[in-house]
Chains A and B, each alone.
Chain A
């Protein structure tokens, strides 16, 4: 049986990588006594597929993971079984059953919605507005990440700003989020000259679509 878990990752779990998160799910299910299917072959792996890796340091409000269980069991029973078996910082929004032959979750994600919150007076609404207008006017934004060159511009779908709490600007972004075409919010801010310790990021939504051919 295949289920899709919609969950939130925050608090102490902000600093875990996608591999860590996979392991955390594996162990949570094991603690709950819910048996996960294993892949075949020399090195069997638990069948857990995270839809889209969330970078270390981000809060995720709408994350997705598909899990293949050995037994047929109702989503309610899965939720009940996992109650009290998850580490703090991990909470389930919803679980639903997915058809076995559905596409891999990684192929369903198209965009990610992020909000970026700045710490104290690093910048201002006015300054950011100007910086983003200028950025979006550019036809290309060449960047290098992990020694690979890429163009950031086509990966930006929309950016908007508003005045957030305590007068600190709140940036919303929708960036492309599919294999090979992933825009990263911190890259946008690095391009504008900001540093990691100036802001924090929250992924608020995963936008799904039909898998691309």
Chain B
């Protein structure tokens, strides 16, 4: 095993030869570097993508601060080395190390991986391999670090079940402390790994895959999911925090360029709109808003602690915050007096009003984004994003009248029940917006349309739907491209194959662990990167393991079928999701649950009152 000195010597000599060596240097302002010997529990926070992407991740930042705030623990960070650095490290026998104290990952007590999306799975394996840590949970005894994972992809943890010792389902701020307490207690008592896992399984929100057994029918569908250790505990309930904890203000300030360099405040968690394709909206319920004063205080403190020249408000639907207008007004004020840029993603057309618009008037640079998602009123009813075409056009008109020239539009194709009429609707809408732009802004108008393929995600009303077939999607895409060729609209379309990979991984069952490992063995890595992923490696892996990938995607599932994520409960009941799926088929909409409660299950599940908990944070 390489010592710290060997790693330092290696870096001293060879780091200069790789691209963006600053990725591996650490030393960022607000970095927390503790004394290894002074703490009991050593935690490595791992983000399975390159530093440029991982550094600004808010989840990592929150946990970094939470863990380091404890006397008895430290947290250090590790990101996935880029391919050139990986090659160099392997050539010199250098194991993967954390940035703070340059400690090999295998020396840590716990390694916690952030898994925000599925295309990072192969990087996860690569990072374990680079650390000399066995990939399979069953191959690791107590001499290896405990490998845990959390993040949105963990809401269907099954494809990664073989590699992770414990999944955290849901929000991590509170449970991370419980995990560390249990770990410390077990370590002190000299207990075995099995005992540790048993203790961890008692914590609400922790899923230990090796304690569950999954059996299959001959046709590949799941026969049963059962807890072999505690049979009555047949499901895992996601963790929520009832009141959002004090927000982070000491963001890490990168010394090199990263994808985002801003002070962020999460102003709200959860969403009440109920769009039927949206997993994030379903799995982050209930809605909890932060108070305006706290938001502003946090922003000011963050600017002082970081010196960032840009600030941003984070939530799934910013304009839905009950104090949205006041917040934006006050943030604009800070932005102007301090000469700090301000970006505001996720605004809903429905919550646009004259007040909000004029609050944003001064901020006319940059892009304005709206997400109609579907091209026709009918399809928008199906997906429950019920905005009328005339409202979208009215908003676009307001946007252009106020002086914005750059507009980005988000659309999706591949919805269940979709016809060419709906696709024509996308074209018509784009054309109409384009005409408006030309009329009101003239030649400076820049319209950008992003057309994504729907991936029917777990825990959404569309989870029973099938993923669209390739020839259908290509036909629809080419239609849109051809029809809009004469306009100056720039069209963005992520590859069908990239979406296909995400669809396989997000809808898969535990048998996919073998496929993921096979794909990794054959060179799959950085699958989220356009220039890196290779669908053929995956097709070959499925072939080798004798699994037909279409089973996961090109098959509408019956409501009777046991889904691979059946035992992961998000608080929104399965029968509610099913009812929403049925309503989508008859074009029935469901209003925002701030207006009427539809008893999705969250209140019953967590014994809370949504209207109360909304304003409590």
Query: Which residues of A are at the interface with B, using a C-beta cutoff of 8 A?
Result: 11-17, 20, 24, 26-31, 33, 38, 56-57, 85-89, 119, 196-197, 200
Query: Could you say which of A14, A27, A28, A200 contacts B25, with CB atoms under 8 Å apart?
Result: A14
Nearest-CB residue, chain B, relative to A36: B339
Pick from A12, A26, A38, A197: contact of B255, CB under 8 Å: A12
With A57-B21, A89-B27 as contacts: A15 and B307 at CB distance below 8 Å: no
Using A56-B21, A196-B16, A197-B13 as known contacts, say yes or no to A87 and B255 having CB atoms under 8 A apart. yes
B116 at the interface (CB under 8 A from A): no
Residue of A with least CB distance to B23: A15
Task: Please name the residue on chain A nearest to B255 by beta carbon.
Answer: A16
Given contacts A15-B21, A27-B306, A56-B21, contact A20 B256 (CB under 8 A): yes
Chain B interface (Cβ within 8 Å of chain A)? 12-17, 20-22, 25-29, 31, 253, 255-257, 303-309, 339
Q: Given A31-B306, A87-B255, are A57 and B16 also a contact pair (CB < 8 Å)?
A: yes
Interface contact A26-B309, CB-CB below 8 Å: yes
A-B contact count (CB 8 A): 76
Contact among B17, B25, B257, B308 for A12, CB-based, below 8 A: B25
Identify which of B17, B26, B31, B253 contacts A196 (C-beta below 8 A): B17
Q: Which residue of A lies closest to B339 (CB)?
A: A38
Which residue of B27, B257, B303 contacts A88 across the interface (Cβ within 8 Å)? B27
Q: What is the CA–CA distance of A88 and B304 in the complex, to the nearest angstrom?
A: 18
A20 touches B27 (CB 8 A): no
| CA distance in complex: A28, B307 (Å) | 6
Q: Which of A38, A87, A200 contacts B27 (CB 8 A)?
A: A87
Contact residue among B253, B256, B305, B339 (Cβ-Cβ distance under 8 Å from A16): B256
Most central of A27, A28, A33, A119 by chain B CB within 10 Å: A27
A14-B8 Cα distance, complex, nearest whole Å: 14
A56 to B13, CA, bound (A): 13
Shortest distance between the CB of A24 and any CB in chain B (Å): 6
Q: Give A85 to B30 CA distance when docked, in angstroms.
A: 10
Residue with the greatest number of chain B CB neighbours at <10 A, chosen from A29, A31, A86, A89: A31
A52 vs chain B, min Cβ distance (A): 19
Taking CB atoms, residues of chain A closer than 8 Å to B255 are 12-13, 15-16, 20, 24, 87, 89
Complex Cα spacing A27 to B303, Å: 10
CB distance from B139 to the nearest CB of A (A): 35
Residues of A within 8 A of B22 (CB): 15-16, 20
Known A20-B22, A27-B308; contact A15-B15, beta-carbon cutoff 8 A: yes
A-B contact pairs, 6 of them (CB 8 A): A13-B27, A15-B25, A20-B22, A27-B253, A119-B12, A196-B17
The CA of A66 and the CA of B307, in the complex, are separated in Å by 19
Whether the Cβ atoms of B21 and A12 lie closer than 8 Å is no
State whether B309 touches A87 (Cβ < 8 A). no
In the complex, the 10 A-B pairs of residues with the closest C-beta atoms, listed nearest first: A12-B27, A27-B307, A30-B307, A31-B307, A57-B16, A15-B22, A15-B21, A87-B29, A12-B25, A88-B27
Apart from A17-B256, A85-B29, list 5 A-B contacts with CB within 8 A: A12-B25, A15-B22, A15-B25, A27-B309, A86-B29
Which residue of the partner chain B has the closest CB to A89?
A: B27
Complex interface: chain B residues within 8 A of A38 (CB): 339
The answer on a CB contact under 8 Å between B307 and A20 is no
A200 to B31, CA, bound (A): 26
Chain B residues lying within 8 Å of A28, measured Cβ to Cβ, are 29, 307
Question: Within the assembled complex, what's the spacing in Å between the Cα atoms of A56 and B24?
Answer: 14
B310 to chain A, nearest CB (A): 11
Shortest distance from the beta carbon of A213 to any chain B beta carbon, whole Å: 37
List residues of chain A with CB within 8 A of the CB of B21. Answer: 15, 56-57
Minimum C-beta distance from B552 to chain A (A): 43
Distance of A206 Cα from B151 Cα, bound (Å) = 50
| Chain A residues, CB < 8 A from B304 | 31, 33
A38 CA to B340 CA, complexed, in Å: 13
Q: How far is the CB of B561 from chain A (nearest CB, A)?
A: 52
Residues in A with CB closer than 8 Å to B16 are: 15, 56-57, 196-197, 200
Q: A15-B21, A15-B22, A87-B253 are in contact. Are A30 and B27 (CB under 8 A)?
A: no
* Assembly CA distance A62 to B423 (angstroms): 63
Q: Are B17 and A197 in contact (CB under 8 A)?
A: yes
B12 touches A20 (CB 8 A): no
Residues of B within 8 A of A56 (CB): 16, 21
Cα A26 to Cα B309 with chains together (Å): 9
CA distance A20 to B258 in the complex (A): 11
Q: Which residues of A contact B303 (CB under 8 A)?
A: 30
Compute how far the CA of A28 lies from the CA of B304 in the bound complex, rounded to whole angstroms.
Answer: 10
| Distance, CA A13 to CA B304, complexed state (A) | 22
A17 to B257, CA, bound (A): 10
Contact B14 A20 (CB under 8 A): no
Q: Is the CB of A15 within 8 A of B256?
A: yes
Instruction: Return the chain A residue nearest B340 by Cβ.
Output: A30
A55 → chain B closest CB, angstroms: 10
A68 CA / B534 CA spacing, docked (Å): 51
- Complex CA gap A3/B556 in Å reads 69
Residues of B within 8 A of A85 (CB): 29, 307
Alpha-carbon distance between A27 and B309 when the two chains are bound, in angstroms? 8
**Across the interface, do B257 and A20 meet the contact criterion of CB distance under 8 Å?**
yes
